[in-house]
């Protein structure tokens, strides 16, 4: 496939949001022509906001969306009214491709079938992505479609990091650690360039949260496992659990696989601990004396600090700690709580810089540089697609 300088549409679907960006190559970088999000998908109220390349809002409307597909159709019918060019290619964020699909790829019939066969690895995510791919093919029949996998960044994991202590026949079936948020991590490595230090930990903290240990910008370990449910506690997900808890729920409460999945992914985490999956809400209630909200924040930040220390051991040191994601970028309190727990290891925040969310928030006497770097998954999707064209 020959190279292309045309516009690339990046599609990034979440549980109740659809983020998107239309990018053009300028001076070797993917520059946004338009970026935006459709929010409140599947809820009683939603909205669409689109910004131009300068960050100016050029379209805003309240709109109810019944599904991700409904939102994509609305976005693609709105973009032409803003004089946007027709995309030359479309890139889709895929959370999981199973054991067979580990590299970003052109969406051929064979790749599509392999995705259908991998549904049981991410039953909450892959079916929605397949629906969006079908929809985009109808909307842009001349544009090639590409799958960009969150697991690709973690193909550099050594076997000691991905191999579970389970019977080998299960490992052969693909039961292993894959890791996620890979497009976010790749975008951070790209943005930092030469400022990326040799021994780094990146904390992508949001409704879904994970951490990644990187040596020279390559993933050597990550907190999420075979699915995005593992690792640290998240907005509504448990993170790692004693497997005996699942056996207890099956034996005593007679929960089947679907009921377990619903509990682990939608009814647990910060929501179960503090009554809300929104860190902003928890922080407000904690400040007002709500002990359950305070407990939720403490459990969340302690699990992150423990993981950072474990990764420092694995890396053989730590030069840099990077915060990303909605909580990582916007919660000064969460960052402060995490760094306070790590003060014995020489990590020191500069309070003013942390409160104002500066690029570098560590003090001059900190043994480890601490940064905030925004996750830019959509531009990374465009970058990966461009390299495949």
Place of tokens 């990326």: 196
Query: What is the 8-class DSSP label of residue 360?
Result: B
> Residue holding tokens 């209630």?
285
Phi and psi for 84 in degrees, rounded to 5?
A: -80, 145
**Catalytic-residue membership of 150:** yes
**CA-CA-CA-CA torsion sign (279, 280, 286, 292):** negative
Helix 279-287 with 332-341: angle, nearest 10 deg: 80
Give the containing element (helix H, strand E) for 19: strand 17-26
Query: What tokens does 192 get?
Result: 């930092």
Tell me how far apart the 2 most distant CA atoms of the chain are, in Å.
61
CA separation for the pair 283, 184 (Å, rounded): 25
Angle ∠(79,82,87) on CA atoms, nearest 5: 45
Helical residues (DSSP H) of the chain, grouped into ranges: 68-78, 109-117, 126-139, 159-162, 168-172, 182-192, 243-252, 257-266, 269-274, 279-287, 291-315, 325-330, 332-341, 351-355, 377-388
Beta-ladder partners of 374: none
Rounded distance between C-alpha atoms, residue 3 and residue 11, angstroms = 21
Q: Return the residue matching tokens 């939603």.
A: 46
Marked catalytic residue, from 44, 69, 70, 150: 150
Measured CA to CA, the distance from residue 350 to residue 364 in angstroms comes to: 8
Cα–chain center distance at 44: 25
Note whether 288 and 338 are within 8 A (CB). Answer: no
Q: List helix spans (H) across 67-195.
A: 68-78, 109-117, 126-139, 159-162, 168-172, 182-192
Which of left, alpha, beta for 26 (phi over 0: left; psi -120 to 50: alpha)? beta
Positions annotated as catalytic residues are 150
């Amino acid at each position: 496939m020959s190279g292309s300088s045309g516009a690339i549409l990046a599609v990034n679907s979440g549980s109740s949001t659809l983020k998107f960006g239309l990018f053009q190559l300028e001076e070797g970088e993917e520059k946004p022509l338009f970026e935006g999000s459709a929010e409140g998908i599947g809820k009683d109220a939603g909205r669409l906001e689109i910004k131009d390349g300068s960050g100016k809002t050029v379209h805003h409307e309240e709109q109810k969306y019944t599904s991700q597909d409904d939102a994509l159709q609305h976005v693609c019918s709105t973009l032409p009214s803003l004089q946007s060019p027709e995309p030359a290619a479309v890139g889709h964020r895929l959370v999981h491709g199973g054991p067979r699909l580990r590299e970003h790829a052109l969406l051929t019939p064979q790749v599509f079938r392999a995705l259908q066969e991998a549904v049981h690895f991410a039953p909450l995510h892959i079916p929605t992505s397949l629906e969006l791919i079908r929809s985009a093919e109808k909307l842009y029949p001349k544009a090639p479609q590409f799958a960009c996998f969150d697991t690709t960044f973690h193909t550099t994991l050594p076997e000691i990091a991905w191999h579970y202590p389970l019977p080998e026949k299960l490992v052969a079936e693909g039961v292993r650690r894959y890791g996620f948020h890979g497009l976010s991590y790749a975008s951070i490595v790209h943005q930092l360039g030469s400022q990326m230090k040799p021994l780094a930990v990146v904390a992508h903290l949001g409704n879904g949260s994970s951490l990644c240990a990187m040596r020279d910008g390559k993933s050597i370990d990550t907190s999420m496992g075979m699915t995005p449910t593992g690792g640290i506690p998240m907005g509504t997900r448990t993170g790692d659990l004693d497997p005996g808890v699942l056996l207890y729920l099956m034996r005593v409460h007679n929960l089947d696989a679907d009921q377990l999945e619903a509990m682990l992914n939608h009814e647990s985490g910060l929501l179960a601990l503090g009554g809300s999956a929104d860190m902003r809400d928890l922080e407000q209630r904690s400040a007002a004396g709500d002990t359950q909200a305070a407990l939720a924040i403490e459990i969340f930040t302690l699990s992150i600090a423990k993981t950072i220390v474990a990764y420092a051991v694995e890396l053989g040191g730590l030069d840099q700690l990077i915060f990303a994601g909605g909580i990582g970028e916007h919660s000064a309190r969460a960052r402060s709580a995490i760094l306070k727990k790590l003060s014995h290891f020489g990590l020191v925040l500069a309070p003013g810089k942390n409160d104002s969310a500066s690029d570098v928030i560590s003090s001059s006497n900190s043994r480890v540089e601490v940064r905030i770097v925004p996750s830019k998954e959509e531009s990374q999707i465009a970058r990966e697609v461009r390299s495949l064209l």
